[in-house]
Amino acid sequence: MALMQIAEPGGFPSERRQQMRAVGIDLGTTNSLIAVVEDGAPKVLPDSNGAFLIPSVVHYEKDGDVLVGANAQSRVLTDPLNTLSSIKRLLGRGITDMPRLGNKLPYEVEVREGGMPTILTRYGPVSPVQVSSEILRCAVSAGKAYFGSEIDGAVITVPAYFDDSQRQATKDAATLAGIKVLRLLNEPTAAAIAYGLNESEEGIIAVYDLGGGTFDISILRLTKGVFEVLATGGNSALGGDDFDRVIADWLCEQTGIGPSIDPSTQRLVMTAARSAKEDLTLAECTSITTLGWRGVLSREHFYKMIDSLISETMRTCKRVMSDANVKSNQIREVVLVGGSSRIPLVREKVNDLFGCKARSELDPDQVVALGAAIQADNLAGNRQSEDMLLLDVLPLSLGIETMGGLTEKIIPRNTTIPVSKSQEFTTFKDGQTAMSIHIVQGERELVSDCRSLARFDLRDIPPMVAGSAKVLVTYEVDADGLLNVSAMEKTSQVVSRIEVKPSYGLDENEILRMLDDSIRYSKDDILIRNLREQQVEADRLIEDLTSALDRDSDMLTKNELLSLQQSIADLRIFRAECSDHNELSVRIGNVAKTSESFAERRMNKSIQLALAGQTLEALEKG
């Protein structure tokens, strides 16, 4: 007989359950942090050098040693080809991104099998996943020092606009570092938790996160302790690094250096640019000395250079508010996150856009890690009280290709995750025994305008008449935004499934383009979809009538047969040339009407064959 431990109402067992050693990690483009909850409050842990910010930099030594953090950062100028920084921008990316990023990378990149980029170092070729795992391993070492033992799990934050492959690459890096991932948490959501907004009055919250390499904006709604992300957007290739690059380009002009400079000089200029940017956060002007050139950069000039980049974030904010169907005056709180949000011009524009003063009491560099630590403490079960529930959303719709190259959306964008949705499909041809499942992502009506995620086949479908098979396709997205797809034919119960793990990620500019195009071309897309649907209907009618004539043409007179064959031929030609779905629909209806008499005769014949040889008594009993 099983025994159950009990306690008096309001009391606790004499031996409390052992606390789980859980941490929150902010894997950043410029800096990374690790935090824990101590005595109910989150705090950031220092690394072995006593610093709270761990530079996201990895250096490969001649003797095979790997340096991470501040120790690696000191090698940036002296050994740039073996010192890797801002690696988060390559995480989950592929060869298609290299032309855009390649000329801005101060190290050598090559493409491995499958399209995954690797960086050439004296250690050998290393992938962004490997480099990120070294940064995570360094962060976790601070957690081990704090607990005096191994950690039990971690919540790792990612930009809200990271796509499936970028999230999977983050998980892979954690696995390589020996970390059990409790959850991937969107950075803006983590910031809201850190500010304790889950404990405040209900309302709508905006989180503006401008970090070293990424930008995110999320609109969240808090209702009875439930955090729901209404909409999210951003750019995983826009951040403080780009502000540095703008200054660096200006310095290259001032010093007369051309665009093609060696890695050491490039790093030297970027270092001077970053220092100038940080100075201008507090001062109206700053002196710069680099490569034998000395000059002054004013805050006003700096603002002019970065105005277009900040304006781009403002446009994204407006679009996300539109997606969330909220106006700026409905937003109760605005939270600033990320080191680049310290720039006065950024704060000014955010305040103007949302019509209220954004909150920035907490260190914008630490706030994400603090929120991750709170969530890690929750997931580890260390809190006895009721905790907030987090409901994130999908940034882009997930769909499937149907006949005619059309996209059927299974899970629309901004759907709360985790989520599981199913839809039933059927076969197109008689006797079809297999079905190809093409998984796509995007907002357009045609598959060619969306992103292909994966393909797999469902085989061994019992041969049936077209349209008789029932294939249930199920899309499941977990709390980390990772997708699994399965397909099952209901009659035979045959199943096929796939875990969608693309080898590289979607370019962020392409994501923004896909969203913009879905609005810009919405009317055209509807017309194209209507035409494609009628074309598929025409193909189906032609296929059915041709098959019927092959079997039962003897049921028609010679004139009837010639007339129907001519109607089919005319429809085939008209289908290929017609660009108006209404006209094609009318023509399909006319052909269907012409074939009605033939269809009736075939049906009567089928009934006669079914009844042949049966007595009246047997039929009455049946």
128-147 and 164-176 are packed helices; what angle lies between their axes, rounded to 10 degrees?
Answer: 50
The whole-number pLDDT of residue 10 equals 38
508 pLDDT tier (thresholds 50, 70, 90): very low
Helix, strand, or coil (residue 36): strand
Structure tokens at 23: 């941490």
d(CA 452, CA 400): 9
**What is the separation, in whole angstroms, between the first and last Cα of the chain?**
56
CA 304 to chain centroid, in Å, comes to 32
Confidence check: pLDDT of 461 > 90: no
Q: Per CATH, which fold does 523-611 belong to?
A: Substrate Binding Domain Of Dnak; Chain:A; Domain 2 (1.20.1270)
The whole-number pLDDT of residue 211 equals 84
d(CA 140, CA 118): 24
d(CA 192, CA 214): 18
Name the segment(s) of the chain with CATH classification 2.60.34.10. 398-518
Contacts of 73 (CB under 8 A, 6+ apart): 55, 57, 83, 85
- For domain 398-518, give the CATH superfamily: Substrate Binding Domain Of DNAk; Chain A, domain 1 (2.60.34.10)
Confidence check: pLDDT of 12 > 50: no
307 pLDDT tier (thresholds 50, 70, 90): very high
Confidence check: pLDDT of 106 > 60: yes
Question: Tens digits of per-residue pLDDT, 79-89?
Answer: 888 999 888 88
The whole-number pLDDT of residue 60 equals 92
Task: Write the secondary structure of 155-214 as one string of H (helix), E (strand) and C (coil).
Answer: EEEECCCCCHHHHHHHHHHHHHCCCCEEEEEEHHHHHHHHCCHHHCCCEEEEEEEECCCC
Q: What pTM, to 2 d.p., does this model score?
A: 0.59
Contacts of 435 (CB under 8 A, 6+ apart): 425, 427, 457, 458, 461, 471, 487
Confidence check: pLDDT of 373 > 50: yes
Element holding 423 (H helix, E strand):
strand 419-425
13 pLDDT tier (thresholds 50, 70, 90): very low
350 pLDDT tier (thresholds 50, 70, 90): very high
Q: What integer is the mean pLDDT of 592-619? A: 70
464 pLDDT tier (thresholds 50, 70, 90): confident
224 pLDDT tier (thresholds 50, 70, 90): low
The whole-number pLDDT of residue 186 equals 84
- Catalytic positions are 26, 88, 187, 209
522 pLDDT tier (thresholds 50, 70, 90): low
d(CA 276, CA 297): 8
Confidence check: pLDDT of 188 > 60: yes
Q: Is 137 exposed, middle or buried (0-12, 13-18, 19+ CB in 10 A)?
A: middle
Q: How many CB atoms are located within 10 Å of the residue 308 CB?
A: 9
Q: What integer is the mean pLDDT of 5-22? A: 48
Confidence check: pLDDT of 314 > 60: yes
Confidence check: pLDDT of 93 > 60: yes
Contacts of 198 (CB under 8 A, 6+ apart): 192, 222, 225, 227, 388
The whole-number pLDDT of residue 9 equals 36
The whole-number pLDDT of residue 233 equals 83
Name the segment(s) of the chain with CATH classification 1.20.1270.10. 523-611
Confidence check: pLDDT of 595 > 60: yes
DSSP H helices in 380-494:
none
Question: Tens digits of per-residue pLDDT, 161-177?
Answer: 787 778 888 988 998 89
518 pLDDT tier (thresholds 50, 70, 90): low
Name the segment(s) of the chain with CATH classification 3.30.420.40. 22-240+304-393
Site of tokens 């005595």: 39
Structure tokens at 179: 């970390």
Q: What integer is the mean pLDDT of 444-456? A: 80
Helix, strand, or coil (residue 421): strand
Query: What mean pLDDT is reported for the chain?
Result: 81
The 10 Å CB-count burial string (b at 16+, else e) for 247-267 is bbebbbeeeebeeebebebbb
Confidence check: pLDDT of 368 > 90: yes
Q: What integer is the mean pLDDT of 426-438? A: 83
The percentage of residues in the chain with a pLDDT greater than 90, rounded to a whole number, is 26
Beta-strand pair 435-441/406-411: unpaired
Q: What integer is the mean pLDDT of 376-382? A: 81
The whole-number pLDDT of residue 383 equals 65
The whole-number pLDDT of residue 364 equals 92
d(CA 8, CA 503): 55
Site of tokens 């017309």: 527
Confidence check: pLDDT of 506 > 60: no
Confidence check: pLDDT of 125 > 70: yes
Confidence check: pLDDT of 487 > 60: yes
385 pLDDT tier (thresholds 50, 70, 90): very low
The whole-number pLDDT of residue 507 equals 44
Q: Higher pLDDT residue, 443 or 381? A: 443
Confidence check: pLDDT of 7 > 70: no
Q: What integer is the mean pLDDT of 230-254? A: 87
d(CA 189, CA 192): 5
The whole-number pLDDT of residue 1 equals 30
d(CA 273, CA 84): 18
Structure tokens at 398: 């997930």
CA 174 to chain centroid, in Å, comes to 18
The whole-number pLDDT of residue 103 equals 46
Q: What integer is the mean pLDDT of 490-500? A: 79
Question: Tens digits of per-residue pLDDT, 533-574?
Answer: 888 888 878 888 888 888 888 888 888 888 888 888 888 888
Q: Is 16 exposed, middle or buried (0-12, 13-18, 19+ CB in 10 A)?
A: exposed
d(CA 224, CA 600): 61
Confidence check: pLDDT of 513 > 60: no
DSSP H helices in 256-343:
263-282, 299-324
Question: Tens digits of per-residue pLDDT, 263-290?
Answer: 778 888 888 999 999 999 999 999 999 8
Contact 374, 234 (CB under 8 A): no
The whole-number pLDDT of residue 392 equals 63
Helices (H) and strands (E) in the chain, counts: 16, 28
d(CA 233, CA 216): 6
The percentage of residues in the chain with a pLDDT greater than 70, rounded to a whole number, is 84
CATH class of 22-240+304-393: alpha beta
The whole-number pLDDT of residue 14 equals 36
